[in-house]
Amino acid sequence: MTEKSSGVVDLLGVLTYAELTGFLRMAQDATLAPTLADCAALSDLAAAEYAHFRLLRDHLSSLGVNPEEAMAPFTEALDAFHAQTAPGDWLEALVKAYVGTGIAGDFYREAASRVDEKVSDLVDEVLADADRSEFVVERVRAAIEADPKIAGRLALWARRLVGEALSQAQQVAAQRESLALLLTSDPDPADIGRMFARLTEGHSKRMASLGLSATA
């Protein structure tokens, strides 16, 4: 699939807007931090999101694609996701940054696995979350150790985030046929089932890293 095919442009468009909104929301969530050090750490992660946004925006421009036009079809769905999952406190903000963003990223990686290597490598780069994972896991595990009762609340919050993230991703794919074809070029229900099994496995691993249960 060529770099400028409609499916690739859609994939890059949704990711560009996801990184932009991720930066804005993460910067806002940093104000919930209990310490200046935590505020600075999450602000650093927000800055990384903005750097990813610029990378994607510039790549779209290099293809002769207007970045604003590429992002436009996805603003409603992503804005709705953030509106429906506004964190109520610092720990909810951390879980959202890790679990909610993580499973959405896995969904887009599935699409990127079907495009050319250059685009796939770019997607992998902007979705890398090693620094975020280390920071969130450390803070959430410490909070649970200090007060084990919060684990149940955070697990419920994480499950809500995953439901909303998958709903948002499916809505986007349903509205953009070219993007949907990247995910389901093989209409075999078994293939689709395997994809969702991989998404579930990734989610379960993140929950385990946080010390939370992935099941009700």
- Structural domain includes residue 115: yes
Domain enclosing residue 126, as ranges: 6-210
- Structural domain includes residue 98: yes
- Alpha carbon distance 98, 212 (integer Å): 13
- Structural domain includes residue 58: yes
pLDDT of residue 4: 55
pLDDT of residue 165: 82
* Tens of pLDDT, residues 119-140: 888 988 888 876 678 889 999 9
- Alpha carbon distance 56, 65 (integer Å): 11
Residue 150's CATH number: 1.20.1260.10
Please count the structural domains in the chain.
Answer: 1
From the number of C-beta atoms within 10 Å of its C-beta (0-12, 13-18, 19+), residue 198 rates as middle
Q: Which of 39-48, 102-111, 191-200 has the highest mean pLDDT?
A: 39-48
The two structure tokens encoding residue 212:
């939370």
* Tens of pLDDT, residues 28-83: 999 999 999 999 999 998 998 999 999 999 999 999 999 999 999 999 989 998 99
- Structural domain includes residue 182: yes
- Alpha carbon distance 16, 22 (integer Å): 10
